[in-house]
Amino acid sequence: MKTRSRLADVAKLAGVSTATASAVINHVTGRNIRVSPETHQRVWDAVAQLGYVANPAARTLAGGKNRILGIFTYGPIFPFQHHDFFHLFLLGIEEEAERQGYHLLLFTNATNTNGGRSIFHDDTNLLYMADGSILLGLNENKDELRRLQEDGYPFVYVGRREVPGVSISFTAGDYQAATAELTCQLANLGHRRLFFIGFPPRFESSIDRESGFIQACHQQNLPLDDRTIFHIPVSDITPEFVRRQLEEGYTGALIDMDVQCQAMLSSLHALGLNVPQDFSIAMLGDPHYVWDNSPDWTMFTIPRREMGIEAVRMLVNQLEYPQNPAPRTIFLPCRIVPGQTIAAPYRAN
């Protein structure tokens, strides 16, 4: 087992100082640092002869960047279910990181005492190993994000995140516009009463869908009352619930997730009703799970790959041009998928 050669070895063999060798190897010669072609050649010859390879840790420590982007998720990044939640995000992230010449560091050793993951774990801010980081996942800790921002650590969240008091960078899907668009499509088909089932407005992504719905209701003059917006568990989407809605004159719904949509479907079936003949459903996102007998949902897809790509671009831009006041937030359009679950309302026929 031979020992690795160091920059000093290269310098000695080439008959130059480590400063010169470093400059040559890092291709920073040409402006302030001028090196004769002969010296240049001697350095590269020495590198080749010794099989020199730089130690990235030393480079980092000496103040250079290490061209590593961190990836932090508030949970396992490779979940067990086949339909991998993060896969398309990661695909975009890797694709763009490779293009920009960055490695990816996955922070997996971050389990905190509550069983979740934390950035400020034990005695180490994990993220400082990387030049900057991409954060993903629903269960973020806003205090950590604030601290990160206050520390001046460069990061971008994949998904809109608002933290009171600080502004953080993110790339998000434009759920608001997509939800509004689907709502308008239903209105244009003749629906006059539409209701919404979403999650409590604890997550920005839920807020965006809900506000898209409300916005479209205003625009289309659809009524909003206490039977229009629901934050209820799947178990509450019962046939009784649905019957009540039908009695109120509702002819369609915008629903935020496949599980809820499927529950709605089951309840309609239980009442002997079909989609979209008797009732229209638009799904606000793409399915998380694979269902045996799933209709061809009318929905929008979340631009996961693009969100990953743009997050890397934004972060790299931040790292390489820190003074550049580039946009720190970006909304990417969601593609509307026509599907087969919306139609003109029954009563309108």
Partner DNA sequence: CTGAAAGCGCTTACAG
Tell me which residues touch its own copies (CB under 8 A).
1-2, 4, 25, 47, 51-58, 60-61, 66-68, 76-80, 84, 87, 90-91, 94-95, 97-98, 101-109, 111, 120, 123-126, 128-129, 147, 150-152
Burial 259-278 (b: 16+ CB within 10 A, else e): ebbbbbbebbeeeebebbeb
* Three-class secondary structure assignment of 7-47: HHHHHHHHCCCHHHHHHHHCCCCCCCCCCCHHHHHHHHHHH
Total binding residues toward DNA, as defined by CB under 7 A: 32
Asked if residue 46 binds DNA (CB under 7 A), the reply is: no
| Least distance between DNA and beta carbon 15 (Å) | 6
Nearer Cβ to DNA (18/215): 18
126 binds, among DNA, its own copies, none (CB under 5 to 8 A by kind): its own copies
CB of 80 to its own copies, least distance (A): 6
Pick what 95 binds: its own copies, DNA, none; C-beta below 5 to 8 Å, kind-dependent.
its own copies
Using CA atoms, how far residue 300 sits from 85, 125, 210, 283, 330, in Å, is 16, 37, 15, 7, 18
Cα 279 to Cα 158, 246, 307, 343, distances in angstroms: 34, 9, 33, 8
Q: CB–CB of 200/206 below 8 Å?
A: yes
User: In the complex with DNA, which residue's Cβ is closer, 7 or 253?
Assistant: 7
Decide: 146 and 165 in contact? Cβ < 8 Å: yes
Q: Identify which of residues 226 and 292 has a Cβ nearer to its own copies in the complex.
A: 292
18 versus 211: smaller Cβ distance to DNA: 18
Q: Report the site for DNA in 53-112 (rule: CB under 7 A).
A: 53-55, 58-59, 61-64
| 128 three-state secondary structure | helix
Q: Are the beta carbons of 332 and 175 closer than 8 angstroms?
A: no
Residue placing its CB nearer to its own copies in the complex, 1 or 247: 1
102 binding partner (options its own copies, DNA, none; Cβ < 5 to 8 Å by kind): its own copies
Give the shortest CB-204-to-its own copies separation in angstroms.
25
Specify whether the CB–CB gap between 176 and 204 falls below 8 A. no
d(CA 37, CA 120): 48
CB of 3 to DNA, least distance (A): 7
